[in-house]
Amino acid sequence: MNIDALITTLDNALRTIAGPSHSVRPVPGNDLPEAELDDRQKQTVARLMRVNHVGEVCAQALYAGQALTAREPKVQAAMREVAREETEHLAWTSQRISELGGRTSLLNPVWYAGSFAMGALAGALGDRVNLGFLAETERQVYDHLEEHLGRLPAQDARSAAILRQMQVDEDGHRQTALKSGGVELPKPAQEAMRLVSKVMTRTAYWV
């Protein structure tokens, strides 16, 4: 590990956890009127968006870990590019949480550390597995976002616009990983990833 890579990794961690993140693209749904939500609905949506924000914290950590241990420079660059694009999702979800009067997860440093370790392990298993891990991560995130879209109040178009654009981006990342040589992970590995994700999402909804 060279010193530049280490500095980049530490900088990414601090920026992700401490924030704030910034978006180059306009925030999806920013031009839409705010929906009339009662206090309970606002709380529910804020918690859902907090879960999605945690997902993006984990994504930053995963891809930082994967880039650090990837073998080919082109794979390292691909991981960093995906992480850069995912930074916008951090900004979008953070803004929406603030608009709804919520807060981000108190456990973000824990989520980051655990995800970074998983990403580093995936990278150490070889570039094809590394890319496959990226593709499977994005597929599961897409499905998770679809579930959240179904739980939003029908009138909350602003939140829905954010989640739909995130889906588009995640699917694009998945396709890129597969075209770059990513392999499908074994079913036990996929199920293990789902289990970890379930624990994270259920905890982040409340904490």
Give the total residue count for the chain: 207
Architecture of domain 3-14+38-206: Up-down Bundle (1.20)
Of 134, 117, 130, 119, the C-alpha closest to 170 is 134
Distance (Å, whole) CA 120 – CA 26: 32
List pLDDT tens digits, range 160-189: 999 999 999 999 999 999 999 999 999 999
Domain ranges of the chain: 3-14+38-206
* Per-residue pLDDT, 14: 74
pTM here?
A: 0.92
* Per-residue pLDDT, 34: 95
Share of the chain above pLDDT 70, in %: 97
pLDDT of 131 strictly over 80: yes
Strand residue runs (E) in 43-198: none
pLDDT band at 202 (very low <50, low <70, confident <90, very high): very high
List pLDDT tens digits, range 53-83: 999 999 999 998 998 899 899 888 888 888 8
Q: How far is CA 39 from CA 9, 25, 84, in A?
A: 39, 30, 34
Q: Which residues, 6 or more positions from 206, have their beta carbon under 8 angstroms from its beta carbon?
A: 47
